[in-house]
Structure 1
Amino acid sequence: MDTKNYHEDLSHIRSMMERSSRFISLSGLSGVVAGVVALLGAGYAYYLMESAKVGSVYDGKLTYSPDLVQELVITGLVVLVIAVFSGYIFTANKSKKKGLKIWDATTKRLIVTFSVPLAAGGIFCAALIFHHLFVWIAPATLIFYGLALVSAERYTLPDIKYLGYCEIVLGLMATFILGWGLVFWSVGFGVLHIVYGLIMHKKYK
């Protein structure tokens, strides 16, 4: 009996340490919403690119006019804002149900760790736009986002690193198949987020 209680106490202590050192309130549903929004954004981007085409979007003859670049950047920013906002709403609700604080020292460390690769990637993509190297933007966003996820794994659910690895692999593949960045972007930010979100929702609901 004492041995059983001893093991239960150890499990309880281990659980408390895990909760204090990791942000575990991430909602799987937020990943699903982010994926759906990304696919809608990709669909709109495809429409914009086809409307401005000289040939096919994928034959390397697309003319990126300043207006087209501006619309694509705005579309990407809108997708990002909606995804972040929905993620916050779902995560805040999950934290409330579990009686956990959404803002604490672990959350701050998570944000910093996640933001550094993401900010570097954003600046790098801005440089690509400045130099009119638009075809490299999709691979770069996937790679830097994947690196951010892998870095953030230390302070949140360990499963998130597998999503990060997939994003990095997709980004690297996209560097060898230039011109198909929108397809890789749709798979990485859309399909993978939906699949990951559903798995996490089922596993941690």
Structure 2
Amino acid sequence: MTPKKDKKNLLISNFVCYFEYQSTFMSQHDLIKEIGQIRSLMERSSKFMSISGLSGILIGSYALIGAFFGYVTVYGARTDFRYRDNYITDSGIIGKLILIAAVVLLASVLTAFLMARHKARKNKQTIWNATSKGLLIATAIPLLTGGVFSMLLIYKGAYGLIASSLLIFYGLALSAASSFTFKEARWLGVMDILLGLLALAFPGYGLWFWATGFGLLHIVYGIIVHQRYEK
């Protein structure tokens, strides 16, 4: 065989190898793409993805507004930031604080529900399914327990422990919810639990820890969810 034919055969052989390599690569690429799509579909079917990141931002804003009115109600508009050992005993002030908390809670629940329903309809999904039922059950246990526990604290006059208790039980609820929705909920829950423990150690700053956990962290969480899953 002449060198010219050897060179030609070598070129043909290289071309065939290159073609086979490209075909194999494309097949693997398509396979990986399909696996990713299947994984995404399974995740959507097993997790409640209709929670809106924008609702998290709004809920955090409601909490900050409520914390502001709560602070003004207790300490007045012109007060400095310092540690406070004195606790509220006036029934009138306590009633106002409960009213503020109830308004914030109602606004938050309505916002979360309406925006979740809107997102579900936009994605042609139903808001009430097996996953959302599991989410509701998982969060209801720590939330109801925390609510009853806080009412008992109010009944016993242990007002300095309310902020820490709400943060801890809410954090536990979010950690449980993360199995049914966005994984970021777990980190929000952990941060709220840590803030609750700090509020327990420094009850004089309870309202500030409460505003940070329910307000600022919620806003950060909402921004992250919106950027990662809704754009």
Q: Normalising to structure 1: TM-score of the pair?
A: 0.92
Gaps of 5+ in 2: 1-25
Which of residues 195, 200, 205 is equivalent to 1:175?
Answer: 200
Q: Tell me if 1:50 matches 2:75.
A: yes
* Root-mean-square deviation over aligned CA pairs: 1.8
Distance (whole Å) between structure 2 residues aligned to residue 61 and residue 135 of structure 1: 9
Any conservation in 2 of the 1:49–1:57 contact (CA below 8 Å)? no
Q: Tell me if 1:70 matches 2:95.
A: yes
Any conservation in 1 of the 2:87–2:159 contact (CA below 8 Å)? no
Distance (whole Å) between structure 2 residues aligned to residue 61 and residue 5 of structure 1: 66
What letter matches 1:170 in structure 2? L
Any conservation in 2 of the 1:117–1:147 contact (CA below 8 Å)? yes
Instruction: Give the percent of matched residue pairs that are identical in Structure 1 and Structure 2.
Output: 39
Which of residues 151, 158, 163 is equivalent to 2:188?
Answer: 163
Partner of residue 9, structure 1: 34
Partner of residue 163, structure 2: 138
Q: Write out per-residue CA displacement over residues 17-62 of structure 1, whole angstroms, 9 at most, x where no aligned residue.
A: 11111001111100100011001111111111025xxxx9843234
Partner of residue 19, structure 2: none
Structure whose CA Rg is larger: 2
Distance (whole Å) between structure 1 residues aligned to residue 33 and residue 82 of structure 2: 60
Give the drift of 1:73.
1.1
Pairing 1:75-114 to 2, within 5 Å after superposition: 75-114=100-139
Distance (whole Å) between structure 2 residues aligned to residue 192 and residue 107 of structure 1: 23
Give the drift of 1:199.
1.4
Distance (whole Å) between structure 2 residues aligned to residue 108 and residue 59 of structure 1: 42
Q: Normalising to structure 2: TM-score of the pair?
A: 0.82
Cα distance change on mapping 1:63 and 1:93 into 2, 3 Å:
closer
